[in-house]
Every structure is written in C-alpha cells, then in structure tokens.
Amino acid sequence: MAVLADDPSIAVIEEASDGEEAVRKALALQSDVLVSDLHMPIMDGHEVTRHLREKAPGIKVIINTISENESDLETALKSGARGYLLKEDAQELVVEAIRYVHPGGILVLPSMAEKLYVERSQSTPTETAMPELEDDALADEDSDTFRLSELEMDMLVGEAELIITPPVEPTAVLNLHDWLTHELEGKVDEVVPSLVGDTLLSVSFEEPVSLARMVANHPLVRAVAKEFSPISRDNPTHIGLFRLRLDMA
C-alpha cells in the first residue's frame, strides 16, 4: 500500500501474496501489525487472524477488504482482528488505524458498526452469567474518574455513555452489547469507534435501570468508575449525562 511507504513513522517490513505466506512471515518477523485482505488464496483473512491470535497474540491484525457484509465483520472480530477497513477508506485511514490498534485499540468505522449492531440487536438472546460484584470493582481509573457511591450505584438512568478503555478484546465489546440489548432489555442506540479515543457505547432504555450496578456485575467487567466531562468537573454534584468508564477483561 503506497500510503504506508510514504509515512516515515511506519516501516513496511514484508509483503505476502497469500494467507499462508502472510502468517509465516508475520511469525518469523514478529510484526507489530499485519494489514490483511479478507479474500486470499490458501488461507483467508479470518484464518490468518485466528492463526496469529493463537500463535502470536501480540501481532495486531487489521482486515482491509471490499466486503461490507456484517457477518464478515463479526467473524473478523471474533477471530481476533483489531480493525476492519473498507478498501475505499483504506488509503485515507490505514496509517491512523495502525497507530490506533497497535497499543490495543479496536477500530470499526461507524458505517460498518451500525450494520453489525443493528443485526445483533435483532438476533436471539444468549444466556449470560451474572456473578456477584467483586470488592475491587469500583477502583478509580485516573484523575478524570471517580469512585461510585452506593447511591450512584443504584441510581436509575434512562440513558448513559459507556466508555471502554483499550486494550480490550473485540469479542468483549460484542458480548457487552448483546448483554445490554437482551439481558437488560434495553436498546444500544449506536457505537462510535474513534481513531483517537476509546470505544464508546451510547445506551438508552425503555425504563430507567440501575445501570452502574448491573454493568459492574457483567462477567467481563473488572472495574467501573464514573467519569465527568471537563465542563462538569468543577461541579461534582452535577452528573449531567451519566458516563461510566469500564475496564474489561
């Protein structure tokens, strides 16, 4: 990809003509990031991703494809891909995508994410275990987050933003979406992946729920804290839009 050769901060160390060769070279060179086509001879992009996830999970895979099929996107994420770019967008976004997924981020552009989450919202619900809340589940994240009080844990909210800090597995985000949609009988309005920020789930519910306590009990959530935007930090008693920052396994 010519745009990569033009960027001095990224070194293209090898190229491959088929999936098997891509896996072999990526393992031999211990690449940081592999940008892979989806449809290739011998081994497709999903198989490439699964092989690398099993043998070298530190190598991040970005799928670069013409496929706008949501099932291809879902399979890619479940296989362990950290990014999914359409070829029509790749020339403009691939450099930023590499920089974003390398430290552990997940990149799916809104146009594709919307298709996937609409389909999953309409699918058959699956069983999700609900373990007891761990004692350390309310640990503070940083200066912009605050420990939730018992009152706030039980606060009823009709809408909220859930911020998921990378690194996080793509399957964990999908699992959380399914759980919110089916187990809480809510509706996830949209997913807003960002090239330079955290994964964000904007959530609304038909009836207000004790969202913080429920999310803290999700089996993949290790910690929950509330986050204030800069405009509300000077007034800690004003929550405004309820925002929770999640640390997920």
What pLDDT shows up at residue 139?
Answer: 36
Name the pTM for this structure: 0.62
DSSP 140-174: --STTEEPPPHHHHT--EEEEEEEEPSS--HHHHH
| CA–CA distance, 246 with 227 (Å, rounded to integer) | 10
What pLDDT shows up at residue 235?
Answer: 38
- Which residues lie closer than 8 Å to 51 by C-beta, 6 or more apart? 23, 43
Residue whose token pair is 């490439």: 48
Chain centroid to Cα 112, Å, comes to 13
What pLDDT shows up at residue 121?
Answer: 55
Q: Is the dihedral of CA 72, 74, 79, 80 positive or negative?
A: positive
| CA–CA distance, 28 with 13 (Å, rounded to integer) | 11
What pLDDT shows up at residue 105?
Answer: 76
- Record the tokens describing residue 84, joined without a space: 């999914």
How does pLDDT run along the chain (249 residues), one tens digit per residue?
Answer: 566 767 777 888 899 999 999 999 999 999 999 999 999 999 999 999 999 999 999 999 999 999 998 889 889 988 989 888 898 887 778 888 888 888 877 777 767 776 666 665 555 444 433 333 333 333 333 445 566 666 667 667 677 778 887 777 777 877 888 787 777 665 666 555 555 556 777 777 776 777 888 888 888 888 888 765 443 334 333 334 567 888 887
208, with CB counted inside 10 A (0-12, 13-18, 19+), is: exposed
| CA–CA distance, 24 with 35 (Å, rounded to integer) | 14
What pLDDT shows up at residue 64?
Answer: 93
What pLDDT shows up at residue 1?
Answer: 59
All domains of the chain in start order, with CATH: 2-107 (3.40.50.2300), 121-248 (no CATH)
- For residue range 43-60, list pLDDT tens digits in order: 999 999 999 999 999 999
Q: Are strands 107-108 and 187-191 parallel, antiparallel or unpaired?
A: unpaired
